[in-house]
Amino acid sequence: MMTDLDIFRTDTRAWLAANCPPEMREPVRSEKDATWGGRKPDFQPGQKEWMDAMASRGWTVPDWPKAYGGGGLSPAETKILREELAAIKARNPLNSFGISMLGPALLKYGTEEQKLEHLPKIARGEIRWCQGYSEPNAGSDLASLATSAEDKGDYYLINGQKVWTSYADKADWIFCLVRTDKTNKQGGISFVLFDMASEGVSTKPILLISGYSPFCETFFDDVKVPKANRVHDENKGWDVAKYLLGHEREMISGMGLASTGRNPLIDGAIATVGLDHDGKLADPLLRASIALFEVRAKAFGMMSERFIDELKAGRAHPAQPSMMKYYGTELNKSRHELMMAAGGSDSLEWESERSSSGAAPRAWLRTKANSIEGGTSEVQLNIIAKRILDLPSA
């Protein structure tokens, strides 16, 4: 007998088959293959259709309530949707810091007005968000941030500088940590939202070793932000920030490891090195490195599944995202190191069409930031040591 979930799976499969454009079932090859939406979208063929189709069902954020643009799906239905998307190798319909970071924080700490104003636009990919956390002197020691928000009655006057603001030059709005009390380090921070088109906001891209500039320096010069745009209480922004960081770490930990089926690394190695007469990779040491890497990658995939199951059931240790972030990003770095080794001289081409404008080396270089952004690996290890293992402070 068909259960409700069986019916849901059948219907979902049929709908995806009919609505997922063929271009959106191709592997992601470079950064432009990711769909971001926003006021100034840069859509490739198929991207807008796919994003809009998914958003029309609330499936860009399947487990959010329908009232906020979500799909209202249960955890079991969400899992089925993810499985069916994976089965047709569908691309993510919408990449969004609004979905992965701000949304969960607004759902927990936002007012009803804030939720109704911002969440549906995030779900539909209408507004692209960036995150204003780090400053030149507040990276790993984030709570030292200095960007000031002066109380002017019904608005704050914001002055200061942010750094490593991902895609600030392409974002429409920013969620931003500002200092509302200079006398209290963690207890003097507030969490505010404002339009990047506001007067006094300017951005400057930072060129990275990958040749891209996903990050920016962001400057605030007498920016007026209405107090109604503050999320949670004044001076309580650190709670929101920490909650959001947990989600950011989850997101980063999963990057590049969500794929199903055979690791492209293996196909890449076979293509360059070839198989010997026993059907084994002709470079035995590369083969051994890949095989041992695969053990960890597959086991980490199982860990990710366990982590999601535990999160849904409210059983995960609150510091576990640190472990996921640490392990996932270190693993991703090893994967790209192996991909470079497997690709040989072909994977060194930086600009050629054949190399999709150096997609492999640029992605390899990009992964090196994974263990720095969102809290360095060392910061995550500190958190695990103190909050999970309960080791004493110095």
Partner 1 sequence: MPLYLNDEQTMLRDTTRDFVAEHAPVSHMRALRDAKDATGFSRDLWKSFAEMGFTGILIGENDGGLGLGHVEAGVVLEEIGRNLSPSPFLSTAVAAVEALKGTALAGRWFPGIISGDTVAALAIDEAAKHRGTVAMKAERSGNGFRLSGKKQFVTHGHIADLIIVAARTAGSADDEQGITLFAVDKGAANLTSEAERLADSSLAARLTFDGVEVDADAVIGEVDAGSDPLNRLLRAGRTGASAELLGVGGGAMDLTVNYLKERKQFGVTIGSFQALQHRAAHLYSEMEVARAAVLKAAQLLDEGDEKADAAVSVAKAMTALATTLSVQEGVQMHGGIGMTDEYDIGFYMKRARVLAEMFGDANFHADRLAIAAGY
* Ramachandran quadrant class, 171 (left: phi over 0; alpha: psi -120 to 50; beta: rest): beta
Name the 3-class secondary structure at 14: helix
- What is the Cα gyration radius of the chain? 22
Does position 85 interact with partner 1 (CB under 8 A)? The reply is no
Which of 330, 305, 310 lies closest to 320, judged by CA?
Answer: 310
Does position 141 interact with partner 1 (CB under 8 A)? The reply is no
Closest separation in Å from C-beta 339 to partner 1: 14
Does position 372 interact with partner 1 (CB under 8 A)? The reply is no
Does position 292 interact with partner 1 (CB under 8 A)? The reply is yes
Contacts of 225 (CB under 8 A, 6+ apart): 149, 155, 156, 158, 192, 193, 194, 198
Closest separation in Å from C-beta 306 to partner 1: 4
Tell me the DSSP string of 179-201: ES-TT-SGGGEEEEEEETTSTTE
Choice between 17 and 292, CB closer to partner 1: 292
Choice between 238 and 327, CB closer to partner 1: 327
Tell me the C-alpha to C-alpha distance, in Å, between residue 268 and each of 87, 180, 290, 340, 344. 22, 52, 11, 9, 10
Q: Which stretch binds partner 1 (CB under 8 A): 65-73, 148-156, 268-276, 351-359?
A: 268-276
Does position 309 interact with partner 1 (CB under 8 A)? The reply is yes
Choice between 1 and 389, CB closer to partner 1: 389
Choice between 96 and 263, CB closer to partner 1: 263
Q: Which residues pair with 225 in a beta bridge?
A: 156
For the question of residue 248 being annotated catalytic, the response is: yes
Does position 341 interact with partner 1 (CB under 8 A)? The reply is no
Binding-site ranges for partner 1 (CB under 8 A)? 262-263, 266, 269-270, 275, 279-281, 287-288, 290-292, 294-296, 298-300, 302-303, 305-307, 309-310, 312-313, 315, 323, 326-327, 378, 380-382, 384-386, 388-394
